[in-house]
Structure 1
């Protein structure tokens, strides 16, 4: 990497360590945030100067001591549905981008690579004048914006082309990349789009699996339950999961890990289906890995995903996994026998029973190319393309 220069208000300081900057909304316990913290740790171990900049102070996830944490708050006054070019929301986000630019240049320096995560941040950074920005797409845009595309297709497409045409883009699955290209058409005149999978730090996950909380504290027994780890959100398919589970032989209890706005509704559904004695709600767990590692089976029932982080985490722990064949990540991580179409309640119930009765048939080894160092190097290589594109 080239030597960097940090332009502070008083001094020009040469920096020997390349600067990597991650930008995201907040350090909540979701897939995008796990990707950020995992990659940040990898870059820190490689000797880079690593920074995470958030728009909110919410922090559910711990950071290594050598990772620098920053907050640049943004105004949450307007609706993100207001996507007109000169809307109040657009003006507010343009102002946030300016604040981020000023903060980064004065407090961090000029980054070698900026990874902007999640749509809200991607929109804000479309107005940024900072160099070396890569938008990281963690989901399928056509699914994320399904309602807006149906209600205002031209306006939505125009807006998304502005957001994702501003910088190079990396998608966390090949399906998500193809979806982006199919939806937005030829934005490659100004933007290069690639696929870089999310990293999985198997060694770290395995070490966390040996720590607290012990499953006994939840009244669980080793390899005697099915686990589902996801926020209680419509896209995670909790309703389908409970309806399917109610149709199974229920040889093992179902354990749900996560929090979210639909939690009360899903608890009520468990009572309605008369399976509440077989379903356990454990809430959000900052360290879910002991619970995953001791599960007999992991099940993912999402309506759509960009990647499907819990799949590779289960693979790192040697836990069998089955999943809905949702757009787009799971089909790139699991064989066909481990997948069931979204919405097929009967099929999901049958697959759960089959997996419980033949657990070893549903164990898939972790792809070693997903280890953090491999993924970190891929982003660095892509960052060089970003630099070359800026010079042209």
Structure 2
């Protein structure tokens, strides 16, 4: 029997962590592994390639408030969920050779798991994700995070996120940096599928695009405020869904730019829209990685981004970056990029191709579990140094 690779996450929603999981899962299938994705919710925005086994093991619990107390009802419920996952995996899948656990809630649940060969994958910076809890209840929050992320080796999707983890919690586990994979060939194939952009009132290479969920960290408000200060030579296309969408639509009206902004909602295949765009904009307040940056690079689309913690600065040169919150600077950079698009094209770094990333996870999981977490964290050095993004 081929070795078993298991991915665990909340649901197959259309965000960066889920894209990482589906891309790696497809790669491991091509490498001959027995690949499984296990979710706790049945939502599936992401299609799966043939050969990937998909499972849903529901929570069967409802949690109203987050409680970090290890003796809380929520923690006790999570222990039951971990037992349910373990029983299902061992009876229906078999013992995994590598289990990659994505998203904080699952990282917490799998703290109580008895499965071997578990690696936690951190897709964002803990200091940002838990900023308010660290201010309100610092001791309790730090103890909780050490419990969660000290249980298994941790891989972070950018070097900045890894350094943030170590700075916040100390050297309490083996850590490494493994960037998110970018399947450039697959993205390019998806980008040539027929999408009638004219139906959205768009013309090829005559619009800018922003692809992100409508939540605070993605910076839609700042983006619209900056766009209102530009020459507005190109319309702005917003792709995504989320709780703030209505608020952002109202802001576009308030800023009197609603005739220049298109809200296209969530797109299962956004790549034809990205490939046809003149410019990709990223305005996040923080990122673990910044998936849309490398997707645009794979399609040869120029990108400008906020210099947020922690991913973009590892993927783009300084000239493509602007400080978070600098509305006027962002407006100036947008106009500069529109006037000289070629200057802001950055080729995709081949270190990010899926076959390289998949091998790094295998090496990290194998070596860390062979040596044991305590000895490994003392001797191990990150597999992947920060990407070079010189001018």
Interval of TM-score (by shorter of Structure 1 and Structure 2): over 0.9
How does 1:114-129 map onto structure 2 within 5 Å?
114-129=99-114
Displacement, 1:77?
1.9
- What stretches of structure 1 of length at least 5 have no aligned partner? 1-15
Displacement, 1:65?
1.4
Moved beyond 4 Å, runs of 4+: none
Question: Contact 1:50/1:67 (CA < 8 Å) preserved in 2?
Answer: yes
Displacement, 1:76?
4.4
Question: Contact 1:78/1:88 (CA < 8 Å) preserved in 2?
Answer: no
Displacement, 1:216?
2.1
- Secondary structure of 2:91 counterpart: helix
Tell me how far apart the structure 2 counterparts of residues 76 and 214 of structure 1 sit (CA, whole Å): 43
2:124 to 123, 134, 139: 139
Displacement, 1:217?
2.5
In structure 2, what is the equivalent of residue 313 of structure 1? 295
Question: Deviation per CA, 1:69-121, whole angstroms, max 9, x where unpaired?
Answer: 00000144224521101001100101000000000000000001000000000
In structure 1, what is the equivalent of residue 333 of structure 2? 351
The alignment status of 1:382 with 2:364, answered yes or no, reads yes
The Cα RMSD (Å) is 1.0
Tell me how far apart the structure 2 counterparts of residues 107 and 288 of structure 1 sit (CA, whole Å): 35
How does 1:12-23 map onto structure 2 within 5 Å?
16-23=1-8
In structure 2, what is the equivalent of residue 299 of structure 1? 281
In structure 2, what is the equivalent of residue 226 of structure 1? 208
Aligned length: 374
In structure 2, what is the equivalent of residue 91 of structure 1? 76
- What stretches of structure 2 of length at least 5 have no aligned partner? 376-391
- Secondary structure of 2:21 counterpart: helix
- Secondary structure of 1:298 counterpart: strand
**TM-score, with length taken from structure 1:** 0.94
2:24 to 39, 55, 67: 39
Question: Deviation per CA, 1:33-80, whole angstroms, max 9, x where unpaired?
Answer: 000000000000000000000000000010011100000001442245
1:158 to 115, 121, 143: 143
Displacement, 1:387?
2.2
The alignment status of 1:331 with 2:316, answered yes or no, reads no
Tell me how far apart the structure 1 counterparts of residues 368 and 29 of structure 2 sit (CA, whole Å): 21
In structure 1, what is the equivalent of residue 195 of structure 2? 213
How does 1:173-212 map onto structure 2 within 5 Å?
173-187=158-172, 191-212=173-194
Question: Deviation per CA, 1:141-176, whole angstroms, max 9, x where unpaired?
Answer: 100111111111110000000000000000000000
Tell me how far apart the structure 2 counterparts of residues 175 and 168 of structure 1 sit (CA, whole Å): 17
In structure 1, what is the equivalent of residue 57 of structure 2? 72
